[in-house]
Amino acid sequence: MNNKIGKVIWFTFKQVITSNWYALIFIMGIVGVLLSTQSDKIMGALFGSSASAAGQAATVMTAKDATFMLQFVIILILFLMILVYGANIANSIVEEKSGRIIETLLCYVKPLDLLAGKIVGYLLAIIMEIAIWVGYYLILDVLLELPANPIFAALGALQPQVYVFLAASIIFGFMMYAFAFAALSSYADNAQDSTQLMFPVTIVIMIAYFLSLAIMNGMDGTWAQIIAKAPFFSPIVTFVTSDLIALTWKEVGINLAIQLVEVIVVAAICAKFYRRGVVSYGLKKMSFKKLLGK
């Protein structure tokens, strides 16, 4: 790896993990994991013994139902992760540009190296955060001997190839949207312009999320399989069009190969936008339509 990219990755990583918003997300995740392990007790304390009994009965679900809930949790986490971290990538680029910090950075590192290092730095921060949440749950499970959670049980029963599929899809999905957020925000001189430029990307991720929910509720067909292979949709929609229980290594390889090609294509296009955007100033009333025209 280029030494300059490594320095950008390390700088971005430290900047992210020491930020207040990252700490807030981290704490919310810890609280969420803790509450998920005590859901029956919480429901019983709030609504009485009848709710507690209903909660215990709800934990007895089929493998299909548990997988359904697992898919929902995965796409929800990925949806929120892309929105939150993508917005922060955009904000950091706008701050660097509006404060003229970007000019100093470009004296030492190329625009594309800066873009790659920034996205990888954010990705490493996300991986570390998720790893800590998982480790925290495992520690609680050992120390407190938690009752069986159907969603976590479904996750633990998956085949090794499915874990590879989940991890790679989350990484590819984040990178695809991160490049788009970074490229478009590079043309903004202030937060208002950034919001306008980010709107189309936000709409795409929302469409992917709601399409996934529709497919999970039975609106399946050939169109769903096509959308699951489309750029920006594949990392999210593919979770609900694939049978996680019966997923084979061949299917995993095909899906991930498609996503990898899409990431490379998106990155190549966005890199050209970013390289011009970070050195462009004074573009008044910039919008996504005008940007495409340029």
Q: Could you report the per-residue pLDDT of 37-90, keeping only the tens digit for each?
A: 765 555 555 555 444 444 444 445 566 677 778 888 888 888 888 989 998 998
Contacts 24+ apart (CB under 8 A), 245-249: 245/63, 245/67, 245/158, 247/159, 247/161, 247/162, 247/165, 248/161, 249/161
User: Does the predicted TM-score (pTM) go above 0.85?
Assistant: no
pLDDT digits (tens, 9 = 90+) for 214-240: 888 877 778 888 888 888 998 888 888
pLDDT of residue 178 exceeding 80, the answer is: yes
Q: Lowest-pLDDT range, 55-59, 106-110, 111-115, 216-220?
A: 55-59
Mean pLDDT across the chain, nearest whole number? 81
Helix then strand count (H, E) for the chain reads 14, 0
- How sure is the predictor about 266, in pLDDT bands with cuts at 50, 70 and 90? very high
Tell me whether residue 122 is exposed, middle or buried, using C-beta atoms within 10 angstroms of its C-beta: 0 to 12, 13 to 18, 19 or more: buried
Comparing 269 with 107, the larger pLDDT belongs to 269
State mean pLDDT over 209-218.
86
Comparing 54 with 134, the larger pLDDT belongs to 134
User: For residues 211 and 227, is the Cβ–Cβ distance under 8 A?
Assistant: yes
User: CB 257: neighbour CB atoms within 10 A?
Assistant: 10
pLDDT of residue 289 exceeding 60, the answer is: no
User: CB 291: neighbour CB atoms within 10 A?
Assistant: 18
Q: Where are the alpha helices (DSSP H) in 38-100?
A: 39-47, 49-58, 63-98
Comparing 91 with 43, the larger pLDDT belongs to 91
pLDDT of residue 211 exceeding 80, the answer is: yes
Res 32: pLDDT: 83
pLDDT of residue 202 exceeding 80, the answer is: yes
Q: Lowest-pLDDT range, 19-23, 115-119, 237-241, 265-269?
A: 237-241
